[in-house]
Amino acid sequence: MTRTVQTRQTTTAAFYVQAVISFGISVTALAVGVAYIPVSGWIRSFLALGLLYVVTSTFTLAKCVRDRQEESTIVGRVDQARLDKLLAEHDPFKVD
């Protein structure tokens, strides 16, 4: 019986810090750009609202992707456990 070993994938601290810094720089740069663009207040407000919408949508999408991945992992583990139990209980030489 071949058993697959699943390892939990974790992100390193360096990757996490890089992602946080990159996100912070990008949002800050875009916010500064919106603040200093030479247009009227209405256009600046529209762009700022668009920036806020993109940021919140990004977090929502990331959470949905993470939840779907975790769900598939849990379902896969349950299915594997059921299969392991069936194989352990199966006796090919048993006569009914």
**36 three-class SS:** helix
35-60 residue pLDDT tens: 999 999 999 999 999 999 999 999 99
Report pTM.
0.60
| Residue 87 confidence (pLDDT) | 82
Q: What is the DSSP letter of 44?
A: H
30 Cβ contact list (under 8 Å, min separation 6): 51
More confidently predicted of 58 and 11: 58
Q: What's the half-sphere exposure (Cβ side, CA atoms, 13 Å) at 69?
A: 8
Identity at 47, one-letter amino acid code? L
How far apart, in whole angstroms, are the C-alpha atoms of residue 96 and residue 94?
Answer: 6
How far apart, in whole angstroms, are the C-alpha atoms of residue 55 and residue 48?
Answer: 11
